[in-house]
A and B are shown apart, each in its own frame.
Chain A
Amino acid sequence: MNFVALKMLFGDRAKYMMLLAGLTFSTMLIVQQGSIFWGLMTWSQSGITNINAPVWVADRNINQVEEIKPLADTAVNVVRSVPGVEWAVPLYKGVQRARLRDGNYEQIALVGIDSSTLIGRPHTIMEGRIEDLRAPDTVAIDRLAVKRLGGPEKMHLGTTFEINDHLVRVVAIVYAQKSFQNFPFIYTTYERALGVTPPERRKLSYILASPVEGLSPEKLAQRIHEQTGFGAYTGEQFGWKTIWWMLENTGIGVNFGTTVLLGFIVGMAIAGQTFYLFTIENLRQFGALKAIGASTGMLARMILLQSFTVGLIGYGLGIGLATLFGLTAGSGGALPFVETWPLLVGVGVALLMICSLSSAISIRKLAKLEPAVVFRG
């Protein structure tokens, strides 16, 4: 009867299109909003992922990566003294002002990395050499900085500009994941970062550390915390800490959660109502099938097949449309859009629930349907 079920589904074009539109819209909305949400969460921890250190050491009260609570310079040696630390280097991170040649100012995220090892440098160097940061008054800038500080014609290798009245020269253009605050990243050495920033008693933002071979980053982080009292986290732990802080302290979670729920409810309402209408309008036919000898189980399988078929098509179309949106609106990193497989699996499960629940309403009706209905003229 699969063939009959599918012909009933595709033959009623108006209802099929209505169902498909509802499920496609629902999928697209959930995937699109879910991907933007995860994109924002990715941006929120870009300060961690761009650096990619095994262990981050910070003030014990730190909440998230952008919340700088500076440490004393001596903290680096304290961490180095913990057994199991292979290396530990300082990192400066802070928002500063860059002055452009045209006199305009732009806020930037300044990152100062260890000059001898260059640990904390970005993964991808697009132009120039990151090693040239060891030369005096040099910086590496990311693509967003190129765009914000004048565009590729004005901002390229060799260009100079000022950070807090200190002249610096661009020696590398790098790829860095955008930050939640959307400030361009400017990389320089730790010592130069201290030099170009206003005087403070403490300027050490983080200490990056790595375990010796055979010791896991989790164990080392725990050990550093226990022996020094500092907050110490693996990159992943620190990333999740940042994400949870974002969810608890901003409306992002509620906002996106509401939209995703709305997508679920809209899909559920349209699919449920259309399926029910479809069943009601074909009640005599279903009654005839029951009289002829189709069991309730057989009719239930027909309804489920119809539901899951249109659900699968809607799922594919919805994901396709959401991906197309991501590729166009989010091209070049303009929009935070990260489509992950757990999200797609989650949406698949949600759609499965929508299809099952909307089918259940129809199946319930059919289970109660007396075949004698066909003998009532």
Chain B
Amino acid sequence: MNQHVESFEQELSHWLVRARGVSKSFGQGDTKIPVLKGVDLDVASGEVLFLVGPSGSGKTTLLSVIAGILESDGGEVRILGESIQELSPAEKTNFRRDHLGFIFQQYNLLPTLTAVENAAVPLFIRGMKKSEAIARAEEVLLTMGMGERLKAVPSKLSGGEQQRVAIARALVGEPQLLLCDEPTASLDGETGHRVVEQLCEVGKHPDRAVIIITHDSRIFEFGDRIVHMEDGRVDQIQQGQEDLI
């Protein structure tokens, strides 16, 4: 397996994420539970990577550590060559703002903002002028077929539409790394398939990597690699449509 992975790694020109020996535990003393047990993971530019595994296997914790919103207990995570652990909290916040995009299972759209305003939020955070931010968000939403729903508030949107707004929000700042936490979990099968198809269409970019946590095996066809986690470790890695290796 390792030889296969190494050869695959050598084919990739540029690593966006490189995690080495990442460990993380929750609780203290006797109740301390190790969730990540020395995880190694590399994600290359242009790659769509699925992170799969049973509940409690450490997928979400790994994603949170990569995003710099959880401190690891050991190991190192480098994104774009930057060691996340060495950044101060404020620098981490700025790093996320400037380089990362997020898609959440529950969408987490602001209920009083319209679709286009929600999509523009990362640009507002960067301090962009409202008119420019809205224009840019409109462009992204149009590419996702949401042209008719720009002014709708989240409560007037279907689950699929809300997730597409969330994808637009993640992409509007043109992040180099897109982190998606079960983006189809709240959607029916067909809608979920369509949303991920769109996510991969608009999200896939030579200078960008996408990490998607999912339980939905029907969307595996969109991934370049599928990383299977089990009990806090990377258990198996599957390339594209190959069988798990």
Contact residues of A with B, CB < 8 Å?
Answer: 1, 3-4, 7-8, 10-12, 282, 284-285, 287-295, 298, 370-372, 374-377
Contacts and interface: CB of A to CB of B under 8 A. Distances in A.
Q: Please provide the 4 A-B residue pairs with the shortest distance between their CB atoms, ordered closest to farther.
A: A11-B112, A293-B97, A288-B108, A371-B69
Contacts of B182: 377
B93 interface: yes
A50 to B, nearest CB: 57
Contacts of B125: 1, 289, 292-294, 298
Contacts of B108: 284-285, 287-288, 374
A199 B149 CA distance: 93
B117 A4 contact: yes
Contacts of A372: 64, 69-70
Interface residues on B, range: 35 or more
Nearest to A10: B112
A289 B108 CA distance: 9
Given A292-B169, A293-B122, A375-B60, 6 more contacts: A1-B124, A285-B108, A288-B104, A292-B125, A293-B126, A377-B182
Interface of B: 60, 63-64, 67, 69-70, 90, 93-94, 96-98, 100, 102, 104-106, 108-113, 117, 121-122, 124-126, 130, 153, 169, 181-182, 185
A284 B112 contact: no
B121 A289 contact: yes
Contacts of A287: 108
B185 A377 contact: yes
Contact of A288 (B67, B102, B117): B102
| Chain A contact residues: helix, strand, loop or mixed | helix
Given A3-B124, A4-B110, A293 B63 contact: no
Contacts of B98: 293
Nearest to B120: A4
Nearest to A284: B108
Given A295-B90, A372-B64, A375-B64, A8 B122 contact: no
A292 B70 contact: no
Question: Which of the listed residues A8, A285, A294, A375 has the most CB atoms from chain B within 10 Å of its own CB?
Answer: A375
B113 A11 contact: yes
Contacts of A282: 110
A8 B121 CA distance: 12
A128 B93 CA distance: 79
Nearest to B65: A372
B150 to A, nearest CB: 15
Contacts of B105: 375, 377
A214 B105 CA distance: 82
Contact of B106 (A11, A292, A371, A377): A377
A368 to B, nearest CB: 13
Nearest to A8: B112
Contacts of B112: 7-8, 10-12
A289 B63 CA distance: 17
A293 B124 CA distance: 11
Contacts of B109: 285
A292 B102 contact: yes
B64 A295 contact: no
A12 to B, nearest CB: 6
Contacts of A8: 110, 112-113
Nearest to A292: B122
Contact of B69 (A295, A298, A370): A370
Contacts of B122: 292-293
Contacts of A370: 69-70
A350 B59 CA distance: 50
A374 B125 CA distance: 18
A20 B213 CA distance: 43
Contacts of B69: 290-291, 370-372, 375
10 contacts: A4-B117, A4-B124, A285-B109, A288-B102, A290-B69, A293-B93, A293-B96, A294-B93, A295-B94, A377-B182
Contacts of B111: 11-12, 285
A370 B26 CA distance: 14
B97 A4 contact: no
A204 to B, nearest CB: 73
Nearest to A287: B108
A374 B108 CA distance: 8
B181 A375 contact: yes
Given A4-B121, A8-B110, A285-B108, A292 B60 contact: no
Question: Which of the listed residues A4, A282, A289, A290 has the most CB atoms from chain B within 10 Å of its own CB?
Answer: A4
A137 to B, nearest CB: 77
Nearest to B95: A293
Contacts of A294: 93, 97, 125
Contacts of A293: 93-94, 96-98, 100, 122, 125-126
Question: Which of the listed residues A285, A290, A294 has the most CB atoms from chain B within 10 Å of its own CB?
Answer: A285
Contacts of B102: 288, 291-292, 374
Contacts of B94: 293, 295
A293 B110 CA distance: 15
A291 B66 CA distance: 12
A1 to B, nearest CB: 5
Contacts of A1: 124-125
Contact of A375 (B104, B113, B121): B104
